[in-house]
Amino acid sequence: MMKLSLVALLLFALTHTYAQDGETVGFYKFYKNELKEDFKTNGWWYKTWNRYDVNPGFSRYSVGYSKSKPLLGWDNVVDKGGVRYRLNHFDLGASFWSGNHKGDTATTDVMRIAAGYFTPISAFSLGRRYLDVRGALLQPAVAGGYAYSNKKHGIYLAPSMHLQLPFVVLEARANMEYTFGGGFNIFPELSLQLDALYTLLDPHKEKTGIWERYSTYALYDKTDIYGNVWYDVHSTYSRHDYVILDMGPLWGITPRMGFAPSLITDNPYKTYGVGLSGRINFLGADIHYDRGFTQIGVVPNVQALDGTVRGKFDNEKVSGLLPANHFSFQANANVYGLLLGIFKRQAIKNMGFAVTPLNRFNFHLGFTYSTVGTPTYNNEQEAIDYTNQFFNDHPEVERNAINDPLQHENEWGVTYGWSYEMGAVGVRVNHKLMKTSGKSSTLEVYYILPITKILKAY
């Protein structure tokens, strides 16, 4: 029954979204003409420091991978990657590297975080980009604000150049930074960002209810001559409209890519896949196929037939990777929305079922079916010898695909995880629990491509 309900939910999101798109067939032509006219009529100063309203298609919302390292004061620098995030005028970046500070032989791991104000400079743009998915644009921009680098506070100014193509943004920037106690430095940065399709999704503010807040606090007043302590008690009450940035129901084809980094496994690997996703209100569903690997291993506390623990199995002796195809179905729920429904019902009492937040923090739960290939062990002979010896020493333990890492079979399992979705872009920590291969975890990036909206833009 739950499966049928979730499939029905996905189909409703699809049909409702298509109906909404059908009402905006002329949106692309209107947007294109309005963009050109506004850009012609406004002055140079307004074009230079605009508020996106006369911008020739500059991405309003993007997130992606970046590479950056300092030019001054460091030797033997090893870049460990970073993240570049931007929403309208909010600019946020995080980068990580290691190296030797000038005059220091020790290697230091460094983190740099910077947040500030960002604006494109439209007067010097070349090209046009429409609805995030059509055309091309080359345009400069500038950002500035607060920086925290190598445990020191400071400020930064970052001129940049953007090549904006359909769905993706290539950015080259120079983060010029001054930290108190660290001095001046320059951090060249290259990043590849996915456009979260803010303009295409066209979110708007939707009033869904009332946010009420009560608070009571006591302040010490005095102690009288009899030793009684008196307090002055204050109560406050505030009330304002609660607004959700609504993008409407979203459905689309979802390419995805997963990583099992060295932080969580001795055998890093990647996964690739594609699926169909739907989001409506605080709910959603995903059906997807992924090809990649799972880690080889068994439950460390091996149990005998009577359920008692008979031995400790060392998975490091049999480490390796098992090629696998995963067919998964997951339902998800917006955690913040559920908390509002429990503790702040007044805030969403007027929320229509089709109202769907642009940004979502979700919990995913579902099931997966895996078909497996031929395993690759880090040391195959050691894995065989250790496993055979273990079962010779523990004859009371049944040797089957659950207890024996040398045996593998197709099977059903449970999948769950957490995600943060920014418009059409999602980042998720996903876990799979399988009886024979145990638990595996990946960090996944996926892109919900709203096909009907994209087709309307063309």
Q: What mean pLDDT comes out for the span 418-444?
A: 88
Query: What is the model's pLDDT at position 315?
Result: 77
Q: Could you tell me the CATH number of the domain that includes residue 330?
A: 2.40.160.20
Examine the pLDDT at 302 and tell me if it is beyond 60. no
In a domain, 417, yes or no: yes
Residue 287 clears pLDDT 90, i.e. is over it? yes
The residue from 199, 228, 257 where one domain ends is 199
How many domains are contained in the chain? 2
In a domain, 220, yes or no: no
185 and 260 share one domain: no
Nearest to 367 by CA among 323, 328, 420, 324: 328
Residue 146's CB is within 10 A of a number of other CB atoms, namely: 12
Averaged pLDDT for residues 102-109: 82
Say whether 393 sits in a helix, a strand or coil. helix
Residue 119 inside a domain? The answer is yes
Give the type of residue at 142: V
Owner of token pair 């049928």: 4
pLDDT, one tens digit per residue, over 118-150 is 988 877 888 988 889 999 999 999 999 999 998
Q: Are residues 185 and 272 in the same domain?
A: no
What pLDDT is recorded for position 18? Answer: 43
Residues 445 and 319 both lie in one domain = yes
The percent of residues in the chain predicted with pLDDT above 90, rounded, is 45
Higher pLDDT: 297 or 16? It is 297
Residue 109 shares a structural domain with residue 255: no
Do the domain assignments include residue 375? yes
Residues 258 and 130 in one domain: no
Q: Give Cα 26 distance to the centre of its chain.
A: 32
pLDDT for the residue 227: 65
The better pLDDT of the pair 234, 375 is held by 375
Q: What is the CATH number of the domain that holds 63?
A: 2.40.160
**In this structure, is residue 36 part of a structural domain?**
no
Residues 364 and 274 placed together within one structural domain of the fold? yes
- Give yes or no for a contact between 347 and 208, defined as CB atoms under 8 angstroms apart: yes
Q: Are residues 339 and 414 in the same domain?
A: yes
Q: What band does 201 get if pLDDT is binned at 50, 70 and 90?
A: very high
- Burial code (b: 16+ CB inside 10 Å, e: under 16) for 101-111 equals beeeeeeeebe
Instruction: Kindly tell me if the per-residue pLDDT of 156 is higher than 90.
Output: yes
Closest CA to 163 of 116, 123, 129: 129
Residues 267, 187 within the same domain: no
If asked whether residues 263 and 192 sit together in one domain, one would say no
CB-based burial label for 410 (10 Å; 0-12, 13-18, 19+) = exposed
DSSP assigned state of 106: S
49 assigned to some structural domain: yes
Both 133 and 270 in one domain: the answer is no
Question: What's the pLDDT score for residue 268?
Answer: 83
Task: Determine the pLDDT at residue 30.
Answer: 61
User: Residue 377: which pLDDT band, with cuts at 50, 70 and 90?
Assistant: confident
Average pLDDT over residues 102-106: 79
pLDDT band at residue 222, thresholds of 50, 70 and 90? low
Q: Which domain holds residue 151?
A: 44-199
Span 18-77, pLDDT tens digits? 444 444 435 556 656 666 666 666 666 666 555 676 677 889 999 999 999 999 988 888
User: What is the C-alpha to C-alpha distance for residues 191 and 400, in angstroms, rounded to an integer?
Assistant: 48
Give the pLDDT confidence of 390-417 residue by residue, as tens digits.
888 888 777 877 778 888 888 898 999 9
Tens digit of each residue's pLDDT (9 = 90 or more) over 309-355: 445 777 778 888 889 999 999 999 999 999 999 988 998 999 999 99
DSSP β-bridge partners for residue 214: 237
26 within a domain of the structure (yes/no): no
Q: State yes or no: pLDDT of 231 exceeds 90.
A: no
User: Is 324 within the bounds of a domain?
Assistant: yes
Same structural domain for residues 177 and 307? no
Whole-number Å distance between alpha carbons of 147 and 208: 36
**Which candidate, 161, 195, 167, places its Cα nearest to that of 62?**
195
The pTM for the full model equals 0.80
For residues 177 and 278, membership in a common domain is answered with no
